[in-house]
Amino acid sequence: MKIQESNGLPPFAKALLVHRLFQSKVSAAFGMAFIFPFAIQVQAQEVNFNIPAQPLSSALQAFGSQAGMQVLFNSEKIKNQRSNNIKGALNPTTALEQLLMGTGISYNLEGNTITILDSREASGSMSLDAMTIVDNQLGTITENTKSYTPGTIATATRLVLTPRETPQTVTVITRQHMDDFNLTNMDKVMDHTPGITRSTYDSDRSEYYARGFPITNYQYDGIPIQRNAQYSSGNTLSDMIVYDRVEIIKGASGLTTGAGTPGATLNLIRKKPTAYLSGHVTAEVGSWDNYRSEFDIGNALNESGTIRGRLAASIQDKQWFQDHYKRLNKAYYGILEMDLSPNTLWTVGFDSNKTTPTGSSWGGVPLYDSANKRVHVSRSYNPGADWSSYEQYSRSAFTQLDHHFDNGWVSRAYYTFQVNGYDAQLGSLLYGPDAETREAQLAGGLYRGKTKSHAVELYASGPFELFGREHELVIGASAYRNHWKGGNHHPFSATADDFYDWSGDIQKPEAGTVTRRFDQLTNQRALYATVRFKPTDDLALILGGRVTNYHMTRDYNSRSTGEVTPFAGVVYDLNDNYSLYASYTKIFLPSNSRDENDQLLSPNKGNSYEGGIKGEWFNGRLNASLAYFEIREDNRAVEVGWNYATYTGIYKGMKAKTKGFEAEISGELIPGWNIQAGYTHKIIRQDNNNNKLSTEEPEDLFKLYTTYRLPGSLNKLTIGGGANFQGKTWNKNVYDYDYNPAINRQGSYWLFNLMGKYQVTDKLSATLNINNLFDRYYYTNIGQYSTRAYGEPRNMMLTTRWDF
C-beta neighbour count of 574 within 10 angstroms = 12
Q: How far is CA 543 from CA 254, 530, 632, in A?
A: 13, 6, 21
Q: How far is CA 563 from CA 235, 366, 547, 568, 589, in A?
A: 27, 44, 5, 17, 11
Contact yes or no for 583/625 (Cβ under 8 A): no
Of the candidates 362, 351, 272, 256, which has an alpha carbon nearest to the alpha carbon of residue 309?
Answer: 272
Would you state the pLDDT for residue 645?
A: 65
* 46-124: CATH number: 3.55.50.30
C-beta neighbour count of 760 within 10 angstroms = 12
Contact yes or no for 199/364 (Cβ under 8 A): no
Would you state the pLDDT for residue 493?
A: 81
Instruction: Answer whether residue 663 shows pLDDT above 50.
Output: yes
Class of domain 270-803: mainly beta
468 burial via Cβ count (<10 Å: 0-12, 13-18, 19+): exposed
Q: Name which residue leads in pLDDT, 637 or 41.
A: 637
User: What are the extents of the domains in the chain?
Assistant: 46-124, 270-803
Of the candidates 472, 475, 512, 473, which has an alpha carbon nearest to the alpha carbon of residue 492?
Answer: 512
Q: Name which residue leads in pLDDT, 284 or 59.
A: 284
> What distance in Å separates the CA atoms of residue 422 and residue 68, rounded to the nearest whole number?
41
> What distance in Å separates the CA atoms of residue 230 and residue 207, rounded to the nearest whole number?
10
700 burial via Cβ count (<10 Å: 0-12, 13-18, 19+): middle
What SS3 string covers 727-764?
Answer: CCEEEEEEECCCCCEEEEEECCEEEEEEEEEEECCCCE
In one-letter notation, the amino acid at residue 115 is: T
> What distance in Å separates the CA atoms of residue 487 and residue 231, rounded to the nearest whole number?
12
Using alpha carbons only, what angle is made at residue 344 by residues 338 and 349, rounded to the nearest 5 degrees?
A: 40
Contacts of 230 (CB under 8 A, 6+ apart): 592, 648
The pLDDT tens digits for 339-362 are 998 889 999 999 999 999 999 998
> What distance in Å separates the CA atoms of residue 427 and residue 443, rounded to the nearest whole number?
6
Q: How far is CA 161 from CA 153, 219, 282, 636, in A?
A: 6, 18, 34, 32
| Mean pLDDT within 722-730 | 96
Would you state the pLDDT for residue 119?
A: 46
Instruction: Answer whether residue 112 shows pLDDT above 70.
Output: no
The pLDDT tens digits for 735-790 are 899 888 899 999 999 999 999 999 999 999 999 999 999 999 999 999 888 999 99
**Whole-structure pTM value:** 0.83
In one-letter notation, the amino acid at residue 307 is: I
- Residue 345 CA, distance from chain mean position: 25
Contact yes or no for 612/625 (Cβ under 8 A): yes
For the ranges 16-20, 620-624, 702-706, 795-799, which has the lowest average pLDDT? 16-20
> What distance in Å separates the CA atoms of residue 628 and residue 452, rounded to the nearest whole number?
38
The pLDDT tens digits for 480-522 are 999 999 888 877 888 999 999 999 999 888 777 888 888 989 8
| % of the chain surpassing 90 pLDDT | 58
For the ranges 460-469, 547-556, 639-648, which has the lowest average pLDDT? 639-648
Would you state the pLDDT for residue 45?
A: 52
Using alpha carbons only, what angle is made at residue 518 by residues 514 and 520, rounded to the nearest 5 degrees?
A: 165
C-beta neighbour count of 604 within 10 angstroms = 22
> What distance in Å separates the CA atoms of residue 263 and residue 31, rounded to the nearest whole number?
37
The pLDDT tens digits for 168-199 are 999 999 999 999 999 999 999 999 999 999 99
In one-letter notation, the amino acid at residue 543 is: L
The pLDDT tens digits for 135-170 are 557 788 888 888 999 888 888 888 889 999 999 999
| % of the chain surpassing 70 pLDDT | 89
> What distance in Å separates the CA atoms of residue 251 and residue 586, rounded to the nearest whole number?
10
777 burial via Cβ count (<10 Å: 0-12, 13-18, 19+): exposed
143: left (phi over 0), alpha (psi -120 to 50) or beta: beta
Q: How far is CA 144 from CA 119, 141, 217, 394, 803, in A?
A: 21, 9, 28, 27, 12
> What distance in Å separates the CA atoms of residue 514 and residue 487, rounded to the nearest whole number?
6
Instruction: Answer whether residue 127 shows pLDDT above 70.
Output: no
Using alpha carbons only, what angle is made at residue 620 by residues 193 and 678, rounded to the nearest 5 degrees?
A: 25
Do 46-124 and 270-803 have matching folds? no
Contact yes or no for 235/244 (Cβ under 8 A): no
- Residue 510 CA, distance from chain mean position: 38
Instruction: Answer whether residue 19 shows pLDDT above 80.
Output: no
In one-letter notation, the amino acid at residue 360 is: S
| Mean pLDDT within 694-711 | 95
> What distance in Å separates the CA atoms of residue 356 and residue 425, rounded to the nearest whole number?
11
Instruction: Answer whether residue 8 shows pLDDT above 50.
Output: no
Q: Is 325 helix (H, G, I), strand (E, B) or coil?
A: coil
Q: Name which residue leads in pLDDT, 386 or 18.
A: 386
Contacts of 798 (CB under 8 A, 6+ apart): 284, 285, 286, 766, 767, 768
Q: How far is CA 753 from CA 284, 286, 414, 475, 669, in A?
A: 18, 15, 40, 44, 20
| Mean pLDDT within 542-571 | 87
Instruction: Answer whether residue 14 shows pLDDT above 60.
Output: no
- Residue 609 CA, distance from chain mean position: 23
Sign, CA dihedral 340-99-165-720, equals positive
> What distance in Å separates the CA atoms of residue 522 and residue 765, rounded to the nearest whole number?
47
DSSP 546-579: EEEEEEEEET--EEEEEEEEEEEEEEEE-SSSEE
Q: 3-state SS of the chain: helix, strand, coil percent to 5?
A: 10, 55, 35
